[in-house]
Every structure is written in C-alpha cells, then in structure tokens.
Structure 1
C-alpha cells in the first residue's frame, strides 16, 4: 500500500548564486532577472534579495502560485509569468505601481481569481490575459486608463465590457477564439485586431521538419515579393511562431525593447 499522497515534480532549486548569475543588463540600462525555462515549481524566495531589478521573467516554468511577497519588487516595470500553471494572482500585485508590462498568458486563471489589485496598476500599458479560463472580464479593468494593448484570446468570454473596449489609449485588442454570440460586435471599437502574444524567435534547429518547411516557404514567398517590389521593406511575418510555448532565442532584448517597451525615462523606471 502506498504511503502518503503522490507528489508532483520536484523542480529545480534556485539558489541566490544562480539568480545573481541570471541577471542581464538590458539595452536601456535596466537590470533583468531571467529565470525562464528553469523547471521551477515553487517561487524561489531567494530572489526577494534581488528586489531592485527592473524586469523579472519567470515564464515557461511550472509555478502554481505567486506569493504576496512579490510586492517587494517595487522598481519592477516588466513582469512575465506566461506559460506556468497559475490559478490565481496575489492581491499584492496591485502595489507594483511602476509596472508597464504584465504577461500572464497560458495559465489556469479564472475570473473569480483575478485580484482587484489589477485595477490599481495605473501605469500598465500592456496586459496579456490570453489562453486562460476566463468566462468574463471585470468592468473595473476600465480603470487602467494607460492600457494600449490587451490580450484576451483563447478564453471562454461571451462579452467584453464597454469600459475595457473604450479605454482611451487602447490600440490593440486581441479577443480571438472566444465564444462570442456575435464576435464582430465585441471588437468594433478597435480599428484592427492584432495578436499581442509574446513572439519568440527560434533557430532552425529548434523547429520540426514540417514547421521548418512551412517557414522556409513563407520566406521564399517574401523574397519573391521583394524582388518584384524592391522598395518594399516590410518585415517578414511568421504567424505560426506566435505561440507562448515556442523556444525563445537567447538575446530577445533588442526586438522586445524596440517593439514593446518605452526607452528608459524618468516617467517609467516592460
């Protein structure tokens, strides 16, 4: 007869030394603590001693909970928790008043476990709630007046509150693949719907043969188009790589800062 309950995966233990060695300097001079893809199952308490970082990446792990002690990261402006197993967020997340970018895509969040503290993130510009278990969006998110992008794709939403659709600075709203009664009415406020998931660039060796062939075919089509109209300098688009579980390229800072984040300034210290 088995003794006790079955335990989940133990996960990798993060020491303070490992955490310190995982700090990188971003192009705008900030400090980024990157603990993504580390097999972490429990929030490493040791990183609370590094609470002066500007960016924290805990994505693509197996975290089930973020503790209230996250509030110690008062300088944080960029927080990535995507692709974990989070069922809730702590109320204390609302104390991170410098937060510019928050990605909790691809978790197990439910509407009832979205903390009211989210409404206090007055400097938040980008919020990704896609690929979760949300059946509604709190109208109180309309208090986030600085939001320019919000991802709500792949949930169980049947409506989007007007308070969210009519946010004054909202430019991108992705609500694709939700069971809306009339999906066209849900996005009529936005000029166009664009994907706001994280884009992870991958090397050819990380792609399966079929995906690699598809990407190469797209590249060939792009090259033909550019040969016909050489003055066109459009960037290549690889929609099939817009998945939160893609293997990330090591040096993502340049494209992320260029496309998603503001330069280092006195106003905001993603």
Structure 2
C-alpha cells in the first residue's frame, strides 16, 4: 500500500443505495449503509437526500462533507463507530433532527462545531467514547434533550448549563475522570429530576389530562377503600372426603352429614321389612 494512503473503501453506487432503503416501523424511510466498509462519504446517496433516516454507522469514515446539508428531511442520523475527527458546521442546518449518534469516534472538544446548538429539536445526543476533555457550555441551549451520553471521555467537569436542561431524563457520564462527589451529585440530581416529572400544577394541565388524572386518583381512592383491613384469617372449613369440592358441595356438606346421620339412626330403629330411605350421597 502506498505511503500516506489509507485502505480503499467500498464504492457505493446509486443502485446499491436504493436497495439499502428500508421502511422503519414508524413509516420513515431509512437508508441503511452501516457495516459497508465505506471510507468516504458516498456522493451517490445525494440522489436520495429526501430520506428521513440515515445510518452510516460501523464504517471507516473520517469526515462528513458539507453536502450533508442536502438531507433536510433527516430526523435520525447514526454515525457511531467511525473514525470521525471533525464535523462540518453544516450539520447545524438539519433542523428536523431529533436523534444524533456520534459515539465511538475521534471527536475532540475543538472539533465540535458551535452550530450543533442550532439543532433545537434534538432529543438524543450521544457523544460517548470520544476524546472530549471539556463539554461546550452552549450544549445547554438544547432544551429538548431527553438523553445525553458523555461516557468514556476525558471529562473532569460537567457544565452547570447541562445540569439545568429541563427535559433531561438519561445522562450517562460514566468512566470519566470526574471527582467522585460530582458523579454522585449528578446521579442524585437526575433521580430527583425523574421523580419530580409528574409534579405539575393543576392549572398547567389541559382539560383532557386533568380529567384523566382525576379519574385515576378516584380509582386509586376507591381501591384503597375496598382493600380489607389486615386481621386474623377466618378458619376455612375442611372437607377431607372431597378431593375437589365445588361451591355447592362446600355449602351443603354439613347439611348432608346431618341428614345422613339421621337416616342411619332411623334405619337402625326400623324393622327389617321397612322400606329403605335414599341417601343424598348415593
């Protein structure tokens, strides 16, 4: 192999790309080019720039070109497990993006473009397994974030702006050289945040949600009223002669026994030529 040149990746033709389009369970069209041995962004897929999801994970891509801005319909973009050491500023033009996976690359703090903060619809951002030493405080402007992965980096501090993200539910900062007290503080804060997600003011709820909450509360109250107070369990009748007693047999067993005893006494007192009485157990 000539010096200075990397491995020659697989060439993706337009026909191959078209055959790689799948319809996801949510009805979106996903162009799945994962695990294809791609080393450079295939220009052929620009003909399919109207897809909603693009999977280029598990390849050998070092760069994403600025033509990524052509994919304006993208909602879901997976670039994990490549060799990316930078991102183009044009990634900030993908205003519909809600999911961005950049895990397991070679990204540094300097290689994260400020334009990432323009992705106001982003709900999931995975930056784990990279080379980040600090986190841009501007990521705190992504108010819709629900999941944020920063695990396996070189972080020594978490910006306060990330701690204040209003919708954050899952925040993974494991295996960073963070002070122990800060890791514990982050975990406790996240638990409190999740537990308080359901604490809202009544005036903040719409009519439908308010009625639903009231109905569930009333059902819970009724259930509590119906729950018997714990106490000594009443002794249940035992019928060893019945292997599988049903409700009728259980209710009438004592009556049958009394009748059967009376019949036997009557039979013993009667003469031999008297007619026999029929027993309920016959």
Distance 2:129 2:58 in 1: 14
Q: Is the 8 A contact 1:94 1:118 kept in 2?
A: yes
Q: Is the 8 A contact 1:165 1:187 kept in 2?
A: no
Match of 2:143 in 1: 145
Match of 2:190 in 1: 190
Match of 2:83 in 1: 85
Q: How far has the Cα of 1:185 moved from its partner?
A: 2.9
Q: Secondary structure at the match of 1:102?
A: strand
Match of 1:29 in 2: 27
1:105-184 to structure 2, matched below 5 A, reads 105-182=103-180, 183-184=183-184
Match of 1:67 in 2: 65
Instruction: Give the aligned length.
Output: 192
Q: Unpaired segments of 5 or more residues in structure 2? A: 194-282
Q: How far has the Cα of 1:70 moved from its partner?
A: 0.2
Q: Secondary structure at the match of 1:189?
A: helix
Q: How far has the Cα of 1:29 moved from its partner?
A: 1.3
Distance 1:192 1:92 in 2: 37
Instruction: State the TM-score, normalizing by the size of structure 2.
Output: 0.66
Q: Is the 8 A contact 1:175 1:187 kept in 2?
A: no
Q: Is the 8 A contact 1:159 1:186 kept in 2?
A: no
Distance 2:191 2:110 in 1: 30
Across the aligned residues of Structure 1 and Structure 2, the Cα RMSD in angstroms comes to 1.7
Instruction: State the TM-score, normalizing by the size of structure 1.
Output: 0.69
Distance 1:57 1:144, change over 3 A: same
Q: Does 1:5 align with 2:8?
A: no
Structure 1 stretch displaced more, 177-186 or 83-92? 177-186
Q: Which runs of 4+ in 1 moved over 6 A?
A: none
Q: Unpaired segments of 5 or more residues in structure 1? A: 194-270
Structure with the bigger percentage of helix? 2
Distance 1:22 1:111 in 2: 33
Match of 1:16 in 2: 14
Distance 1:14 1:138 in 2: 35
Match of 1:94 in 2: 92
Distance 1:85 1:192 in 2: 37
Q: How far has the Cα of 1:144 moved from its partner?
A: 0.3
Distance 1:178 1:20, change over 3 A: same
Q: Relative contact order, CA 8 A, sep 6+: which one is greater?
A: 1
Q: How far has the Cα of 1:30 moved from its partner?
A: 1.0
Q: How far has the Cα of 1:192 moved from its partner?
A: 8.2
